[in-house]
Every structure is written in C-alpha cells, then in structure tokens.
Amino acid sequence: MDSLEKMRCGEKISSSEQLLLLLRLSTPAILAQISTIIMEYIDASMVGSLGASSSAAIGIVSTTTWLIGGLTNAIGTGFTINIAHKIGAGDDKEARKYVKTGLLTVIAFSLILMLMGILIHKKLPLWLGGSPEILQNASDYFLVFALTLPIMQINYTGASMLECSGNMKTPGMLNIISCFLDVIFNAFFIYPSRNITILGKEIYVPGADLGVLGAALGTSLATLFSAFFILLSILVFSEKLHLRKNEKKGLSMSSMIYALKMSFPVMISSSIMGFAYVVSTLIVAPLGNISITANSFSITAESLCYMPGYGIAHAATTLVGQTKGAGRLNLEKRFAFLSVLMGMIIMTLSGVLLFILAPWMIGLMSPDPGVRELGTTILRIEAFAEPMFGASIVSEGVFRGIGKTGIPSCLNLISMWLVRLPLSAFAANFFGLKGVWYVMCAELCFRGSIFIIALIKTYHSDTV
C-alpha cells in the first residue's frame, strides 16, 4: 500500500513518508508547470526573431489572455476540490459525479468566453494602447486564442481533476510532449519555406510564413493534442474517475451549485489579478515598444522560476484536500505547512538562478539589445521577491485544498489593487519600467507575508 492510500485509509504516515509523498506528487506537477512556460518561451523566442514589433503584438494582449486563462482555470476549482475531498473520504462514486457535472459546466463556460473573445478581438489591442503597426498581428493572435478556449478549458480542468485524484504523472507527461509539438508546429506556421543545413546537408523545410498568427496556431494545435489525451485519461483510463456503465445518471444540479459556490471566490480572485495585469499593461504601454516587449518577455522568463511553486501548490491542494476529506486534521496541517516551506526553499533557489541567468534568459527570446539590457535589469530586481512569492502561491493551493477559497481572493485584492497598482502608476512616471518592477518586488514580499499570517491564523482557529 503506497503512502497516498495509507493516508486515505487512516494509517499512520511518518515524517519522511510525508515529505516523500509531497515530493512525489510535486515533481510531475512542477514539470507540467515548467513545460507550459517553455511553450511560452518557444513562442516568444520564435516570434522575437521577427523583431520587436511582432513581440509587442503578443505582449500587448498577453495580460488579457492571462485574465481569461485565469477564469478558465478558476471555474473548475470547486469541482476539483470536491473530487479530492470525496476520494479522501473513500466516496469515489460521488467524485465521478463531480467529474461529469464539472466537465459539462466548464465547457459551457468556455464557449461563452470564446464568443466574447471573438466579439472584442478587433478592438482589444486598440483599447490597450497598442501602436498602429502591431494592431493587426495582436488582433489575429487574440482571435486564435479565443477560438482555442474550449480546448484549453478541457486541458486545464481535466488535468486538475487527474491531479486531485492523485495522478500527477499523466498531466505532466502530456504537457512535456506538447512542448515538443509546439516547437514543430511553430517552426512550420511562423516561418516561410526555407533550406536549413544539418550536419553539412541542406534540407528543405516547408513553412506557412504566418508570423505572429502562426505562433498562435502552433500553440493551439499542441494544446488540442494534450486536451484529447487528458479527456481520454479521465473518462477511460483513470482507476477512480473513469465512466461506469452502471452510473449513467451521474449529473447533479446540487453538485454543480455547490462546486460553483467554491469556484466563485477563485474566479473573483482570478478576475482581480487578471484585471490588475491588464491595468499594468496600460501603465507600461506609454513607455514604448521596447518596454512593452521587455516587460512581456521578463514576465515569461520569471515564470520559469515560480512555476515550481505552482507545481507544489497543486500537490498541496491534493494532499490537503484528501486529508481533509479523510478527517485527518493533524496530518492536513502538517502537509499545509510542509508544502509552504518547500515552496519557499525551492523558489529561493530559483531566485538565485534567475539573478545569475537573467541575461541568458532574455537573450533567448530577443536579439534586440535594448530589450536585453532592460529585461536583464528588471529580472534581477524581481529575483529578490521569489521566496515570498512562493509562500503566497503555495498558501493559496492550501486554502483551496481546505475549501476556503474566499481568503486568497481578499488577500489578492488588497495586495494588487491597494499596493501594487497605485505605486506602479506613480513609479512608471518617474522611473520607467524599472520603477514598475521595484514596486512588483515589494508587493510580492508583502503578499507572501499576509498569506503566511492568514494561514497560521486559519489553522489556529476552531473553524478549520
């Protein structure tokens, strides 16, 4: 019997087993998160070779794609939390009910977002302050993103459902494969047909020569591959979640309402963060294409450092959620704080690497000297925030696992809208993009502190 099964059955788990279990569940999730960012790296570096204006076209709409992507992630949260709770309690049949109801609910939601994206794709880059030369490319990129939303929705929610059932390996493996496919698809769609030399031999490589639009199409096709196999893994191959012939009903309005009540605060939190990023774009846009590109690329580069935190957060949601479902409060608490500590340690190490490798990370995405210089500077500013950023990321995963999804929403609202945005608007006027990133570093340290305080208070109250 493995440690996860022992946990569900109420058997004692030693401290070393707890640590190994957290590592075992975190590692595939970390790889999955990193592979997602690598896909963004691939897009950024390939498009970056086309020039700063092409990169700016993606950068100007990137915060809106994060906003919408956050909502697609958030809508399924209540369903995945309840899957973890039900599996922890040994009620696999009820968990499958949340799978069926959840998939139909989130797909319907993504179709609504897709329609909204189609309606606004022409005007969005203009609303965000994009310069005339990037408007068409930005609009095309966002349109393909909008059309891909139902596929992304299946990918996001399906992966979370598998993770909450204890299967971290399948989503991680599929994300890694998607990265390789993204390279292949992008190489075809972005560039024109050409001859390349490999080992002294000249080889003809076909290409569609679609530029920025090609980057969007390549990523969409890679996402389609991943979503198909995620869905197959849930409905056919998952030991606990696959469809049963004797459970034909399964859909439940009460389950949907209960799950959506848990998802709603997460959606509010995602909206708070997403709109804040959009406002950040409006703050940065007047600084020019070099600043827009450096800001966008630096965010992508930094993502490689904090993705391990999100991987640990996913594992924390699973472990805390299942221990809560099993009624093991002491073990739940140990997993909660062990996860946060691990997140802070790993992201401290990633912050050190970020500081050292900043020139190389930016250089991979852009040949422009101005973008490289500015990007390196702001990444090194941000490196100092990584430990406390890790604390906030993993703490949010813990809060989701115990079902207290409203607490992160309130903390994010305070941190982003009352601290970061007002100070960023002020700093941009006097210190440019560097000032914006100094503020970001300070705000992330503040956010990590208030998340830790809230987590300690939660576990010292009688209402857990």
**pTM for the whole structure:** 0.77
Count other C-beta atoms under 10 Å from residue 184's C-beta.
Answer: 12
Nearest to 293 by CA among 184, 130, 142: 130
In this structure, the strands spanning 192-198 and 201-208 are antiparallel
Alpha-carbon distance of 325 to 464, in angstroms, equals 12
How high is the pLDDT of residue 379? 94
Q: Is residue 210 part of a domain?
A: yes
Q: Is residue 464 part of a domain?
A: no
Q: Where are the beta strands (DSSP E) in 114-242?
A: 192-198, 201-208
What is the widest separation between alpha-carbon atoms in the chain? 71
What's 138's DSSP letter? H
Q: Is residue 326 part of a domain?
A: yes
How high is the pLDDT of residue 464? 45
Q: Is residue 324 part of a domain?
A: yes
Number of folded domains that form the chain: 1
How would you classify residue 200: left for phi > 0, otherwise alpha for psi between -120 and 50, otherwise beta?
left
Q: Is residue 281 part of a domain?
A: yes
**Interior CA angle at 430 toward 427 and 436, to 5°?**
30
Q: What is the pLDDT along the chain (464 residues), one digit of tens a residue?
A: 566 676 666 677 777 877 887 887 777 767 766 766 666 666 667 777 777 788 788 878 887 887 898 889 889 989 998 998 899 888 888 899 899 999 999 999 999 999 999 999 999 999 988 888 899 999 999 999 999 999 999 998 999 899 888 888 898 888 888 888 888 898 899 999 988 877 778 888 899 999 889 989 998 999 999 999 999 999 999 988 998 877 766 667 888 898 898 888 888 878 887 788 778 878 988 888 888 888 888 887 888 788 888 889 988 998 898 898 888 888 899 999 999 999 999 999 999 999 999 999 888 777 788 889 999 999 999 999 999 999 999 999 999 899 898 899 899 989 999 999 999 999 998 899 999 999 999 999 999 999 999 999 998 874 44
Alpha-carbon distance of 122 to 132, in angstroms, equals 13
How high is the pLDDT of residue 462? 47
Q: Is residue 20 part of a domain?
A: yes
* Cβ 170 vs Cβ 233: under 8 Å: yes
Range of the domain at 41: 3-459
Q: Is residue 388 part of a domain?
A: yes
Q: Is residue 172 part of a domain?
A: yes
